[in-house]
């Protein structure tokens, strides 16, 4: 059914990086969501009024808010697809994050309202009337919401959409909350205790949690978060798979929203290679990675001397020293410059993100070991951590 809808309403469904295709997916997700949620709102409201169940009525209102979230989704796709302009040179794709945040706020508000209404219901309890028809309505609701979850999840993965993913999260929360309501309707008559208000509180808390998860995730994206290891691995694998690239470092990815990802990287290239050929290689990688991963990449060339025995021996020795200090450290941009009374050794030390050690302490320990290994060496060490660089020159007294 999902594939049928995609084939009918999405033109060129495989071109997921195309703006028009993304909008078609977004409009499909929104349209289906509005139709199903309005249907569920109508039948649940009737069932809730007939049974006098505040939990069912609140669940119906939640479905109405979900229909509103689907409307927000349409606006989100429309605004986020606007092209870059003078004021916003990186496009408007982060609008999707803003609207996803709004969806999270709406969900939290609905959940909070439900909790308050349920508390009132506990204090002013009324008899809840259970019928098989009501149970059937709730079972149909659970089935439709479960289908919506799989529907939204498939589309969100296809187009890498956070707002569709947020709506999928809300749908699975609705499955749980409606199941809780159904259980309360069945169990209450059996035990002689009206659980409606208590179950309403549980449903409200579940809804609030779903909204909070969406909200916190979107705030993290807006503030700026580290890319996933999987995504970083794909980028590195693509670049390192190109002949002529001997290594990469200082990969920085800037996420300006779906389809608007920019990155910079330092690529290590044989220093003896013709500079025009190396430049052509970098241009080719930049063009190919746009097609393959949708990333606007800028490559900085780092010349690497590969056949100097003295430099290679020094590099191997200092790599060993750095690893002795901490296995999580690595070095790059290694070079040596001879002076009249010393050898200047210049390199970058990269700290892994989880390391809490003071960079100055690390450099001091590395320098102490390097002096023991070769007193002629004089270091200029740049420490890289979380994309920030701090330069340390060896103290003359050392």
Q: Are residues 297 and 349 in the same domain?
A: no
pLDDT at 396 over 70: no
- Percent of the chain scored above 90 by pLDDT? 26
Cβ(298)–Cβ(263) under 8 Å? yes
Q: Point out the domain boundary residue: 288, 304, 320.
A: 304
The tens digit of pLDDT for each residue in 267-279 reads: 999 988 899 999 9
Q: Are residues 145 and 80 in the same domain?
A: yes
Phi and psi of 377, rounded to 5°?
-70, 140
Which of 106, 27, 121 lies closest to 62, judged by CA?
A: 106
Q: Are residues 291 and 362 in the same domain?
A: no
Q: Point out the domain boundary residue: 250, 272, 304.
A: 304
Q: Point out the domain boundary residue: 279, 304, 329.
A: 304
Please give the mean pLDDT across all residues of the chain.
86
What is the pLDDT, as a whole number, of residue 395?
A: 63
Residue carrying structure tokens 């999260």: 169
Mean pLDDT of 325-354: 88
Total structural domains in the chain?
A: 3
Residue 291 DSSP SS3: helix
CA distance 278 to 250: 19
pTM above threshold 0.85? no
Which of 13, 115, 124, 9 lies closest to 62, judged by CA?
A: 115
Q: Are residues 327 and 193 in the same domain?
A: no
Mean pLDDT of 99-119: 85
Mean pLDDT of 49-64: 79
Q: Are residues 45 and 28 in the same domain?
A: yes
Q: Are residues 21 and 116 in the same domain?
A: yes
CATH number reported for the structural domain that contains residue 268 in this entry: 3.30.70.1350
The H-assigned helical ranges of 192-226 are 196-223
How does 355-376 read in b/e, with b if 16+ C-beta sit within 10 Å? eeeebeebbbbbbeebeeeeee
Task: Flag whether 398 is in a domain.
Answer: no
Q: Are residues 92 and 141 in the same domain?
A: yes
Which of 375, 347, 374 lies closest to 363, judged by CA?
A: 347
pLDDT band at 245 (very low <50, low <70, confident <90, very high): very high
Q: Are residues 121 and 209 in the same domain?
A: yes
Domain that holds residue 387: 309-393
Q: Are residues 286 and 173 in the same domain?
A: no
Task: Flag whether 250 is in a domain.
Answer: yes
Task: Flag whether 341 is in a domain.
Answer: yes
CATH number reported for the structural domain that contains residue 8 in this entry: 1.20.1510.10
């Amino acid at each position: 059914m999902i594939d049928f809808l995609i084939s009918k309403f999405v033109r060129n469904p495989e071109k997921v990086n195309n703006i028009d295709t993304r909008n078609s997916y977004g409009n499909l997700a929104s349209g289906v969501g509005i139709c199903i949620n309005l249907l569920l709102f109508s039948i649940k409201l009737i069932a809730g009024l007939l049974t006098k169940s505040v939990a069912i009525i609140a669940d119906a209102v939640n479905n109405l808010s979900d229909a509103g979230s689907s409307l927000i989704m349409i606006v989100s796709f429309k605004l986020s697809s606007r092209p870059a302009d003078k004021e916003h040179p990186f496009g408007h794709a982060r609008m999707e994050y803003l609207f996803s945040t709004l969806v999270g706020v709406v969900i939290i508000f609905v959940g909070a309202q439900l909790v308050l209404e349920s508390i009132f219901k506990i204090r002013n309890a009324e008899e809840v009337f259970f019928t098989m028809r009501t149970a059937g309505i709730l079972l149909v609701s659970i089935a439709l919401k479960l289908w919506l979850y799989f529907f939204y999840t498939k589309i969100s993965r296809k187009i890498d959409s956070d707002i569709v993913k947020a709506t999928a999260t809300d749908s699975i929360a609705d499955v749980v909350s409606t199941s809780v309501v159904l259980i309360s309707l069945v169990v209450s008559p059996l035990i002689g205790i009206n659980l409606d208000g208590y179950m309403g509180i549980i449903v409200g808390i579940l809804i609030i949690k779903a909204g909070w998860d969406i909200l916190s995730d979107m705030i993290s994206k807006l503030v700026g978060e580290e890319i996933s290891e999987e995504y970083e691995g794909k980028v590195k694998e693509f670049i390192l798979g190109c002949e002529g690239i001997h290594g990469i470092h200082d990969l920085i990815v800037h996420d300006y929203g779906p389809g608007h990802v920019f990155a910079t990287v330092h690529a290590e290239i044989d220093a003896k290679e013709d500079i025009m050929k190396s430049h052509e290689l970098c241009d080719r990688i930049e063009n190919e990675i746009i097609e393959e991963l949708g990333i606007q990449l800028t490559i900085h060339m780092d010349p690497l001397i590969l056949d100097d025995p003295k430099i290679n021996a020094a590099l191997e020795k200092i790599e060993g020293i750095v690893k002795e200090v901490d296995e999580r450290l690595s070095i790059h941009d290694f070079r040596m410059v001879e002076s009249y009374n010393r050898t200047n050794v210049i390199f970058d030390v990269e700290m892994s993100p989880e390391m809490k050690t003071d960079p100055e302490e690390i450099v001091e320990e590395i320098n102490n070991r390097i002096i023991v290994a070769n007193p002629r060496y004089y270091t200029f060490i740049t420490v890289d951590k979380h994309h920030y660089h701090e330069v340390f020159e060896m103290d003359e007294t050392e």
